[in-house]
Structure formats: C-alpha cells, structure tokens
Chains A and B, each alone.
Chain A
Amino acid sequence: DTGVSQNPRHKITKRGQNVTFRCDPISEHNRLYWYRQTLGQGPEFLTYFQNEAQLEKSRLLSDRFSAERPKGSFSTLEIQRTEQGDSAMYLCASRSPTALYEQYFGPGTRLTVT
C-alpha cells in the first residue's frame, strides 16, 4: 500500500494556459474524489468517480474543468484557460467500496496562476 500519489506537487502557470494534474489512487480503491482548497478555506468537493464513471460534479466545476478516469485507475483533472482564481491546492482522495466513510488523501497539487 503506497498511498495516494499526485503529480505534479507544484505547478506554476501563466493565465490562459491549460494544466493537467494526475492522481493515482490506492490500487484496490475504485472510488475517487477531487477537492479544491483555496487559501484560508477548507477543501471543497469537486467531483466523484466510481470506477470510470463520473457520478457527481460540484457546481464549482466550471466548463473549463474536466476530470477523467479512464479504465477506473488513475484520474486526471484538466483546467483549460487558467485564471488567477484557479490558484489553489487540488487534493485527490480514494476509498474502497466497503469502507464507505474512509477516504485516503494524496499530498495535493499546488497550482499558482500568474
């Protein structure tokens, strides 16, 4: 059990550029979550996957954001045409199908949009 990993850990990009983050969940976990944490706030739910199906999206997930989980393994979160307001920590979490309330968080990807 190597835990949830996220790459990159830090990303600095210029406004208007596209960025993509990757999350590798714990191998037997088929549920995956993305959260966003802005400065001084708690993490906020963005989206949820069960296997490869994206079952819930928050209103925070504007049309510039897209998340995928091909083959139900790793997941990617892409932000198109980044804005300064997208600067945040993006956290990924995974859980097993039986431990309903137990999410394991990755270290996060800190995005800075200049």
Chain B
Amino acid sequence: AQKVTQAQTEISVVEKEDVTLDCVYETRDTTYYLFWYKQPPSGELVFLIRRNSFDEQNEISGRYSWNFQKSTSSFNFTITASQVVDSAVYFCALSEETSGTYKYIFGTGTRLKVLA
C-alpha cells in the first residue's frame, strides 16, 4: 500500500545550523511524483519541490537541497544555514499514476523550530 513516513516529529536547531528532514515512501508504482511542502503558522501549503520517479538527480535551490534515492525509497530535504523564517511544518507527499486521480498522500509532517 502507498505510504509516506516522516519519522521526525519535531526538530529544533539553532540558527545557521544545517538540518535534514527525512522522508521515506512506499509505492508499487513505477511512475510517481514526490513533493515537499512548507506549512507556516498561517496554515497555507507552500510548494517547495516536485520530483518524478525517473529523475534521481539531486536538486539545489538556494539554501534548500533535496536528495532522492530510489534504492532506499527516500526523498530527504536539507536546509543549509537555517534561519528563523524556516520555522514551519514540512510535509512530504506522494502522487501515483495508478491512483487514477493523482491524489496526494502526505506524511505526518516534521515541525522545524529554528532558534535565534
């Protein structure tokens, strides 16, 4: 069955530290997409990245980077030199081709607290 696991419930770091948020997924599909979203206290979901199952290249965007490894079914997210504004809940999500609807399956989220 499809599933997304974010084992880290909450992480606290001091500003300027690097932090990695883990995401492990389960799927039988060969075609799927993985996502990361940020949810600040306002509640809105902010899209960060989308990655398809055929592209294992790591991606860097400013202080953000993502490591996708199909061999371990992981899609981890690293924030370099964290800032207080990075404090939020981060969700990893999976969308499968065979679902027909392409609905998203979300993990339970990791709350990141960046302390000044």
Interface residues of A (CB under 8 A from B): 31, 33, 35, 40-45, 48, 55-56, 89, 91, 93, 95, 100-103, 105, 107-108, 110
Which B residue's beta carbon lies closest to that of A41? B108
- A–B complex contacts, Cβ < 8 Å, 5 sampled: A40-B108, A48-B101, A89-B43, A103-B102, A108-B45
Size of interface on B: residues with Cβ below 8 Å to A: 24
Residues of A within 8 A of B95 (CB): 101
Whether the pair A101, B52 counts as a contact (CB closer than 8 A) is yes
Interface residues of B (CB under 8 A from A): 4, 6, 33, 42-45, 47, 50, 52, 91, 93, 95, 97, 100-109
Whether the pair B45, A105 counts as a contact (CB closer than 8 A) is yes
Whether the pair A107, B44 counts as a contact (CB closer than 8 A) is yes
Whether the pair A103, B104 counts as a contact (CB closer than 8 A) is yes
Contact check: which of B100, B101, B102, B107 meets A42 at CB < 8 Å? B107
Residues of B within 8 A of A44 (CB): 106
Residues of B within 8 A of A102 (CB): 50
| A35 to B109 Cα, complex, angstroms | 15
CB distance from B59 to the nearest CB of A (A): 16
Whether the pair B103, A41 counts as a contact (CB closer than 8 A) is no
Whether the pair A42, B103 counts as a contact (CB closer than 8 A) is no
CB distance from B55 to the nearest CB of A (A): 12
Whether the pair B103, A95 counts as a contact (CB closer than 8 A) is no
